[in-house]
Amino acid sequence: MMEMAGRMMEEALIKIIHLNKGYRLGEEKVPVLRDICFTVQRGEYVAILGPSGSGKTTLMNVMGCMDSLDTGEYYLNGFPIHTMKAEELTRVRNREIGFIFQNYQLIPTYNVLQNIIMPLLIRGMRHREAEEKCMETIRLLGISHRLEHRPSELSGGQKQRVSIARALVGEPALLLADEPTGALDYTSGQEVLKLFGALHDMGHTIVMITHDLNVAKAAGRIVHIIDGVLSEADASP
Q: Does pLDDT of 20 surpass 90?
A: yes
Give me the pLDDT at residue 2, please. Answer: 46
43-65 residue pLDDT tens: 999 999 999 999 999 999 999 99
Q: What is the end-to-end Cα distance of the chain in Å, rounded? A: 45
Domain 2-233 part of CATH 3.30.420.10? no
Domain residue limits, the chain: 2-233
Partners of 19 in the β-ladder: 36
What SS3 state is found at 43?
Answer: coil
Q: What is the Cα–Cα distance from 169 to 136, expressed in whole angstroms? A: 9
Single out the residue of 173, 166, 3, 169 nearest to residue 88, CA to CA.
Answer: 3
DSSP state of 67: S
Q: Cα dihedral sign for 127, 128, 133, 138?
A: positive
73-84 residue pLDDT tens: 999 999 999 999
- Indicate the length of the chain as a whole number: 237
- How many angstroms separate the Cα of 96 from the Cα of each of 75, 76, 89? 12, 8, 10
For the segment 138-153, the average pLDDT, to the nearest whole number, is 95
- How many angstroms separate the Cα of 212 from the Cα of each of 94, 209, 228, 231? 28, 9, 17, 16
Task: For 229, list phi and psi in degrees, rounded to 5.
Answer: -115, 130
DSSP state of 235: -
- Confidence label for 27 from pLDDT (cuts 50, 70 and 90): confident
Q: Does pLDDT of 213 surpass 70?
A: yes
189-198 residue pLDDT tens: 999 999 999 9
- Confidence label for 233 from pLDDT (cuts 50, 70 and 90): low
